[in-house]
Structure 1
Amino acid sequence: MLVSDFDYELPEELIAQTPPETRGASRMLRMDRASGALVDDSFASLPECLKAGDLLILNDTRVIPARLFGVRAGLHTQHNSPAPTGRIEVLLTSQISADDEGSTWETLVRPARKVQPGETLHFYDAERPSAPALTAEVLAAGEFGERTLRLIPADPQEPLTAILERIGHLPLPPYIYRPDEAPNTTADRERYQTVFAQPAGSAAAPTAGLHFTPEILAALKARGVEVQTLTLHVGLGTFQPVRAERTEDIRLHAEPYTLPAATAEAIQRAQAEGRRIVAVGTTVTRTLEHCAAIGNLAPHSGTTSLFLSPGHEFRVVGGLLTNFHLPQSTLVMLVSAFAGREATLAAYAHAVRERYRFFSYGDCMLIV
C-alpha cells in the first residue's frame, strides 16, 4: 500500500494545543469494529462501554524532561530557555549505555548541520550560569538530525535525572506551537504525564493514557474490568516522519519494553478463558502483538520495532482505545490494521466534521 493511502484533511484549528481543563473530560468516539458504526460519546463513559472480565492494559512509562537547549563549546548563555539565535536544541530519545562518569544517548539535534562528531555542547542551569551543568560530546551523526551524544554531568555525584528535572524541558510534540508550561495553561509537567506513570524513560507520552483519572480506574475495577500495565519507552520513531512511499518499505526504530509477571499471567488467563483484551494506546498494541509474534507472552524485557499495517492478524488485542493521529503516520496505519483502512478514515472524517480535538492533548476513540 502507499503511505498516501492514509492521508486525510485536518483543519489546523482542531489540533489541541492544551489539555482539557479537567483530566478525563475528553470526548470519545466509539467505533464498532465489525460494522464500522460510530457513536459520539465521552471518555467518562468508558467503564460502561467495557464489560466485566475485560482485561485493560496500560503503558506505565514516565516521560522525562528530555528536551535540552544548549550552546556549542566556546559560546555562553546566561539563561536556559528556547531562543532562536545561537541555540542548539537536543531531544534525548533513548539511552544506549551508562557508567559512573556519564551516559550515551541517541538524540535528535536541531540545527543538525552545526553539530558534527568531535564537537562539544554545553547546557547551563539558569540559577548557576557560571559553568555548564551538563556537557555533551558528539560521537556520531545520522542522516536526518540523529546524533549520538555522550552526556557528562559537571557534578559526577548528581544523577542525570536530577539534572534533567532542573534544566530539561518537557518534549511536547512539534505540532503544539507553544513552549512547555506556557503562561495561563495547565502545567505540562503534570498533564503530559499519565496518573499511573512509573519507570522513567520516554521521550513522549503514551497519549491514550492521559485521559485516565484515579476515579475512572476505580470505576473500571468496580465494573469487573481487570487493569494491568506494561512498559514501553517511547523513542526516536515517534518523532521521525515517514519517508517511504510504500508501507512495505517502512522501518521503525527499536524501543525497549517490559512485560511484567502480573500482566503476562493476566493475559494468559484471559486468553484461556476467552476474555477480551483491550489495549490502551498504540504502544501497548505494538508491545502485545510483538510478544505474540515472537511467541513469548511470559514475563520478559526486550525491544520491538514491529510495524503494524492492514493485513496484520491480531493475536492478543481485541479492543483499542487510542487518540487521533497524524495523517500518513504509522499510527494511523496501526489503527487501520485493527479497524480497517476505510472504516478508520471514515471515523476520522466524522471526527473532523464533529470538531473533535486531535493528537496528543486531544480526544480519543474506542474500537471494540
Structure 2
Amino acid sequence: MYLSDFDFELPKKLIATRPTSPRGNAKLLVSSSGRLHDSRVGNICNFLRPGDRLVLNNTKVIPARLDGVRFRQSAQGPVQAKIAITLVKPLPNGNWEALIKPLRKVKVGEKIIFKKGLIATCIKKLDGKGLLAFSVKGDELDEVLDKIGDMPLPPYIASRRPADAQDHLDYQTVWAKHPGAVAAPTASLHLDEHVLSALSNHGVDITFVTLHVGAGTFLPVTVDDIRKHKMHAEWGYVGSKAAQEIKSTKSKGGRIIPVGTTALRLIETASLTGMIKPFDGDTEIFIHPGFKFKVTDGLLTNFHLPKSTLLMLVSAFVGKSELDNIYQHAIDMSYQFFSYGDASLLFP
C-alpha cells in the first residue's frame, strides 16, 4: 500500500487543542463487525464484557520542553542567545538526546542555563540533535523538570497555543508511574478514576505495561511505499506478571484490549514468537496492513493524523475499508481528532 492511501481531508475545527472535561464525557465511536455506535467514554462498560482485560501503558510524560540561554564571549563583548530544548531520549548514563533550536547557535562544549540553576552542557551533535549532560541527574533532574519544564505538546497543538500549567494535568494519565515518555499515550487520557471504578465493578481486569513514547511518534512517513518505512525505537517493558495475566485472560475466553497504539505495539512485540512472553528492550515494530495480530482482540484509541503510522496500525487491525468508514463517520459527526480528541473502541 502507498502513503497516499492513508490521506484524508480534516477540517481544522476538528483538531482538539484542549481535552473534554471531565474525561469520561469525551465521545466514543464504537466499531464492531462493521457496525458503528456513537457513545461516550463514560459508557464504555456497555461495550465490554466481564472477564475482558484492558492493557494500560503506565509511562509518565516528563515536562521535556525547556527554555534556556546560551552565553558566549565575542569580539564585541558578552552575547547571549535564547535556546529552546525538547528532551527526546534518556541514555543509560543519565545524559539526554535533545532537539535544540536553533542548534547552530550552540557549540559542542557550551553550556545552556535554565531556571532553578539547571545547566546543560552540549557534549556532542548528531543527526540534527544534541547530546546534553545536565548538572543533576536521575530523581533530582526529574524534580527540577517538574518545576521549570513545559509539557511537550504535539506540534499540531503547540503551533496553535503554548503549553500551560493545565497541560501538566491534562497531558498525563491518572496512573502515570515511570518517567521517561516525551509524548503521552493519549488514548489513556480518557480514563479517569470514575471510569476505572466502573470498569472494575463491571468485572473488567487491568494489566499495566510500560512503553516510553518518544518524539519519533510525530515523525512523518517520507516514503511512498509504506513497507519501506523504518520505525523509531522506543523502550518497553512487559513483566512476567503482565504476561501471565494476559495469557490467563486469553485461556478463559476473555478479550485483550490495549488502550492506545503504544500498548498494542508493545504486547504484539512481546508476542512475535506466538504467545506473549516477558519483554524488556527496544521495539521498532511497524504494524501496517498485512500484519498478523497474535494477542490483541480490541483497541481503544484516538483519531489519528493523515498518513501516520498510527493510522496504518488501525487499518491493519480493522481493515482499510472499515477504517475509511470509521473516519468518515467521525468527521461527519464532528468528533474531535488527535491527542486531545475523542476516542474509538474498535473490534474487527
TM, length-normalised to structure 1: 0.87
Distance in structure 2 (CA, Å) of the matches to 1:214 and 1:279: 18
> Which residue is equivalent to 2:149?
168
Q: Give the C-alpha shift of residue 210 in structure 1.
A: 0.3
Structure-2 change in CA distance of 1:37 and 1:86 (3 Å):
farther
Distance in structure 1 (CA, Å) of the matches to 2:43 and 2:271: 30
**Of 108, 122, 126, which residue of structure 1 is paired with 2:112?**
122
> Which residue is equivalent to 1:251?
230
Q: Give the C-alpha shift of residue 355 in structure 1.
A: 0.6
Matched, 1:109 2:100: yes
Q: Give the C-alpha shift of residue 261 in structure 1.
A: 2.8
Matched, 1:306 2:285: yes
> Which residue is equivalent to 1:181?
164
Q: Give the C-alpha shift of residue 213 in structure 1.
A: 1.1
Distance in structure 2 (CA, Å) of the matches to 1:178 and 1:188: 11
Could you list the runs of 5+ residues in structure 2 that have no partner in the other structure?
74-79
SS at match of 1:24: helix
> Which residue is equivalent to 2:339?
360
Distance in structure 1 (CA, Å) of the matches to 2:52 and 2:12: 36
> Which residue is equivalent to 2:207?
228
Distance in structure 1 (CA, Å) of the matches to 2:138 and 2:206: 38
Q: Give the C-alpha shift of residue 135 in structure 1.
A: 1.6
CA deviation map 1:200-257 (0-9, x unaligned): 1100110000010112111111111111110100013213222222111111111111
Q: Give the C-alpha shift of residue 92 in structure 1.
A: 1.0
The alignment covers a number of residue pairs equal to: 339
Distance in structure 2 (CA, Å) of the matches to 1:59 and 1:156: 24
Q: Give the C-alpha shift of residue 301 in structure 1.
A: 1.3
Could you list the runs of 5+ residues in structure 1 that have no partner in the other structure?
76-84
Q: Give the C-alpha shift of residue 70 in structure 1.
A: 2.1
Q: Give the C-alpha shift of residue 3 in structure 1.
A: 1.1
> Which residue is equivalent to 2:185?
206
Q: Is the 8 A contact 1:70 1:121 kept in 2?
A: no
TM, length-normalised to structure 2: 0.92
> Which residue is equivalent to 1:79?
none
Q: Is the 8 A contact 1:29 1:364 kept in 2?
A: yes
Q: Give the C-alpha shift of residue 72 in structure 1.
A: 3.0
> Which residue is equivalent to 2:90?
95
Matched, 1:70 2:68: yes
Distance in structure 2 (CA, Å) of the matches to 1:111 and 1:296: 47
Matched, 1:270 2:249: yes
Q: Is the 8 A contact 1:8 1:345 kept in 2?
A: no
Whose helix fraction is larger, Structure 1's or Structure 2's?
A: 2
> Which residue is equivalent to 2:76?
none
Give the counterpart letter for 1:238 in structure 2.
Answer: T
Q: Give the C-alpha shift of residue 20 in structure 1.
A: 1.2
SS at match of 1:18: coil
Distance in structure 2 (CA, Å) of the matches to 1:71 and 1:3: 40
Distance in structure 1 (CA, Å) of the matches to 2:104 and 2:224: 26
**Of 319, 327, 330, which residue of structure 2 is paired with 1:340?**
319
SS at match of 1:48: helix
> Which residue is equivalent to 1:82?
none
Distance in structure 1 (CA, Å) of the matches to 2:106 and 2:332: 44
4+ runs deviating over 4 angstroms? 155-158
Distance in structure 2 (CA, Å) of the matches to 1:141 and 1:278: 38
Report the more deviating stretch, 238-247 or 250-259: 238-247
Distance in structure 1 (CA, Å) of the matches to 2:287 and 2:162: 32
Q: Percent identity?
A: 41
Distance in structure 1 (CA, Å) of the matches to 2:336 and 2:143: 34
Report the more deviating stretch, 4-13 or 233-242: 233-242
SS at match of 2:203: coil
**Of 29, 37, 51, which residue of structure 2 is paired with 1:53?**
51
Give the counterpart letter for 1:17 in structure 2.
Answer: T
Q: Give the C-alpha shift of residue 53 in structure 1.
A: 1.0
Structure-2 change in CA distance of 1:222 and 1:210 (3 Å):
same
Distance in structure 1 (CA, Å) of the matches to 2:123 and 2:331: 43
Distance in structure 1 (CA, Å) of the matches to 2:29 and 2:189: 16
> Which residue is equivalent to 2:171?
192
SS at match of 2:317: helix
SS at match of 1:356: coil
Q: Give the C-alpha shift of residue 23 in structure 1.
A: 2.0
Distance in structure 2 (CA, Å) of the matches to 1:52 and 1:326: 33
Q: Is the 8 A contact 1:73 1:119 kept in 2?
A: no
> Which residue is equivalent to 2:132?
150
Distance in structure 2 (CA, Å) of the matches to 1:320 and 1:180: 29
Structure-2 change in CA distance of 1:158 and 1:73 (3 Å):
farther
> Which residue is equivalent to 1:81?
none
Let me know the Cα RMSD of the aligned residues. 2.0
Give the counterpart letter for 2:279 in structure 1.
Answer: H
Q: Give the C-alpha shift of residue 309 in structure 1.
A: 0.3
Q: Give the C-alpha shift of residue 320 in structure 1.
A: 0.3
Give the counterpart letter for 1:108 in structure 2.
Answer: L
Structure-2 change in CA distance of 1:242 and 1:86 (3 Å):
farther
